[in-house]
Every structure is written in C-alpha cells, then in structure tokens.
Amino acid sequence: MKVFVAVKRVIDYNVKVRVKADGTGVETANVKMSMNPFDEIGVEEALRLREAGKAEEVVAVGLGPRQCQETIRTALAMGADRGIHVKTDAELQPLAVAKLLKAVIEEERPGLVILGKQAIDDDSSQTGQMTAALLGWPQATFASRLDIGNESARVTREVDGGLETVDVKMPCVVTTDLRLNEPRYASLPNIMKAKKKPIDEKTPEELGVDAAPRLETLRVTEPPGREAGIKVESVAELVDKLRNEAGVI
C-alpha cells in the first residue's frame, strides 16, 4: 500500500504572530516557518505503518510556493520515500487544496491519505473532509489511534468527552489528532539522505484544477489586549468582586 501524507508549511508554532498594519492578513516576511504540527504526526504515523510492514511507500505532498519544498524535505528527512510538490504562488484555500490533492490522488491511487486535523495558520479544519468528499472516499477525522486491517482501517477518534472507534473501508482519508503519536526528529544522516530523494513538481494547470480562492478575507484583527489583573486582600473581597463587578456568580 502507498500512503499519502499532506504536509503544510505554516508559521512556526513558537512564533508570536503579528497582524499586518493594513489588516489584510498576518506578517509572514522573515518569520520562521515549519511543518504544521499535525502533519508531523501524519508523517510519523505513515512511517510507523511502513515500518510495521503495512505500507510500502510513504509519499509527502505539499502545495504552495517554492519554499514548500523545504517542508517536503523535512518529511523526507523524517523518512518519507519521495515528495510531490504542487507549485503555485497563488493563495490556496482548503477547497483548492482538496481539489488539487484529489487530482494527484487519482493519478497515484494511494490506499490511505493522511492529513492533519487542522492547519495552525488558518485553523480551517476543512481540507481532509473536503478531499474525502470530492473523492467519494470514507473519512475518519481526529484520529488518536489507527489500526490497518486487510481492507479497512479501525480509527479511534477524539470526540467531545470521550473516544469513538469507527471502521472505514480503504481507500480512505484520515486526519490526525494530537495524541496519535509523538513524531520523531530527523537524524543528521537522514537529513543528508533526504537531499537525494526525488520531489516531483506539478502545477494546478497541469492537473487541470481551478485553484482560485472562493472566499474573500475582509479583515484580520489582533485579539483585544488583556487588562492588568488586581490583587485582592481576602476571599470575601474576591467573592464580592466576582458577584458585584464581574457578575459571574
């Protein structure tokens, strides 16, 4: 079985994100970028499947500008076998990513497609669901455990207040949750080896996909700053303030 893993290049989770002065988006110039953390979990899961003999090949797929190749290389350094880069400088929204992924998936016919449950930059949590819908494939989102059977996958999902276990027929789309695994670090020899691994380049035009944005961002604003806290002298004063000033009890 061939496993596809989507890897998105996003602002590193340690960076304090700044909104652009004109409110059209967030500042990405000179900002550290990394692989979306949920996609690192996706790569790790795919590698574990290969190591367990359940998959033969792990293919990392990234979509976006030239720099996305760095993210694909990171997946190759973790152990993925090869990469596919759908190159475009245009803004890609989840529907466009899903259409492009569908086109590549139909060319390559993987048995399993793993995406992150959400990208930490747009927080959309839409791409996996849309990809499955466009392909007409089953999907299991927010996976915290994945067991591959002969023709189906058993997925434990993190849902409100508990866990849900579902069986989905393969081929299917799975999106990763935080507790699925702990991703490995790329070792130095593997980083060197990754330089020689192939990355196929494609464009939306070659794939015959109209990737134009369908949503318009009206404005992006910073969250309101927090007001300074105060110290109270006693529990009675705290209760009084909670009741009479904050109105929360």
Q: Which residues bind ligand AMP (CB under 6 A)?
A: 6-8, 36, 38-39, 62-64, 92, 94, 97, 115-116, 118-119, 122, 124-128
Nearer to ligand AMP, 15 or 120 (CB): 120
CB of 228 to ligand AMP, least distance (A): 34
Secondary structure E strands in 18-161: 33-35, 57-64, 82-87, 112-116, 139-148, 152-159
CB of 173 to ligand AMP, least distance (A): 10
CB of 229 to ligand AMP, least distance (A): 33
**The pairing of beta strand 162-169 with beta strand 172-176:** unpaired
Nearer to ligand AMP, 45 or 81 (CB): 45
What letter represents residue 105's amino acid?
Answer: I
Nearer to ligand AMP, 55 or 100 (CB): 100
CB of 226 to ligand AMP, least distance (A): 27
Q: What angle do CA 226, 231, 233 make, to 5 degrees?
A: 155
Nearer to ligand AMP, 121 or 241 (CB): 121
Secondary structure E strands in the chain: 2-6, 9-11, 33-35, 57-64, 82-87, 112-116, 139-148, 152-159, 162-169, 172-176, 199-202
DSSP letter (8 states) at residue 150: S
The residue at minimum Cβ distance from ligand AMP is 116
Nearer to ligand AMP, 215 or 238 (CB): 215
CB of 165 to ligand AMP, least distance (A): 22
Instruction: Report the 10 Å Cβ neighbour count for 205.
Output: 10
DSSP letter (8 states) at residue 179: G
